[in-house]
Structure 1
Amino acid sequence: MSNFFIEVIDHHVQTTDIVILSPSARHEIISTVNNVWDVGIAASLASLAALITPNTTIHRTDIQYDAVQYVTSSQPIFVWVETPFILRRNLHRSPFAIIFSVDCLPPFHSLTLAFHILRFMDIYIREGDYRCFQLLALTYCFTHTSVYGVLFFDHRLAFVFNQAHVRAESRSHSHRFSHSLHPITTVPGQSISLDFVADLIVRARRLTRGRI
């Protein structure tokens, strides 16, 4: 289990807190994400949000109508990279990484993060001809206006990872090139700048080193 790490860096408090969750909490988060194909997003969302921020008095982890409306209308971006690009040290069995960012306000950080991780799994297992790839590790940061981080996956992400590159090369619908030729997935109609992507990559690299 030493390969799995989760860091919560919370910017909306007076000081920056880096929280390393216990091995059992890490295992529960990874297990909940990897079981979503069998269990479903709706049945997994509240429990995953509660695992991400246990015993919280700040973050919403319920799935009442207003909370669900908020998180489902949020717009993530994903940058598809190979793990060595973002992480200096070797992460056993994880050749692929997804850098992500989504705008959201503090009460909805946990739910927004949980929803988009689960939805990523659901969408790309389908697009990958039902190859059930596995999340191996993640690191994430809450700010005043967003949550961003990195997801690390096993080799079974290869098919959709390669498809993302093919789509980026053809510049089809939601896939575009970044300055470093990494595919970027966005919601159709969503506007982002390459400067933002470059800054996100820098912040994600710092995050994997326990820095902000």
Structure 2
Amino acid sequence: MGGGDHARGEGPGASAACRGGRSGPAGERPGELPESAAGLYSLDHERRLYAAAADLERMRAWALFDVHGSCNDRIFKSALQSAHSAGDPGLGAHILTFWAAAAYNCDRPAEAESMASAALSTVRSKAAPFVEALAYAGRARARSHLGDERCWSDLDFAERHLHAPSRTRTRVSRSGPRRVPGLTRLHPAGDGTPA
């Protein structure tokens, strides 16, 4: 592959899903485990692998946005499909929030508003308030660019969620159940707003 392929995140190190190619031997579809792997992983382990792949694809798409200022829909879509395979709607919403931010910054505010709304409908009252705040803030940015006055209520909701007590959930480990914060993924900007 030439140097241009690396610039698009499609070099030798790119995942098959990111390149749009096959994930294994001919006849297998991306997002499916090869037959040779069937039975080697527990369902829980398989879901963790898909979640890791989804987050790596999200990071690849965001890095391409940072470097080239373009929104790579194909990679974001692949990340979203991996999150779905992982059975993790919170991760899917997290990916949609990043995708919305990239779309907004690439002059696609209507698409960004739709993506942020989809993220909100997925996580509303199910994820940490911080996750909802990010989605509300992303939708507010898209709506403000569209001249939609509802951006102000989205900002109010985002602020309320930032100040809300964090929901917790029980995570079971080998040592038994423990309470952990509901938010496990942080936004790269660190300030609670998509860049």
Q: Report the TM-score when normalising by structure 1.
A: 0.28
Q: Which structure has more strand as a fraction of its residues?
A: 1
Which structure ranks higher in relative contact order (CA pairs < 8 Å, sequence separation ≥ 6)?
1
Q: Report the TM-score when normalising by structure 2.
A: 0.30
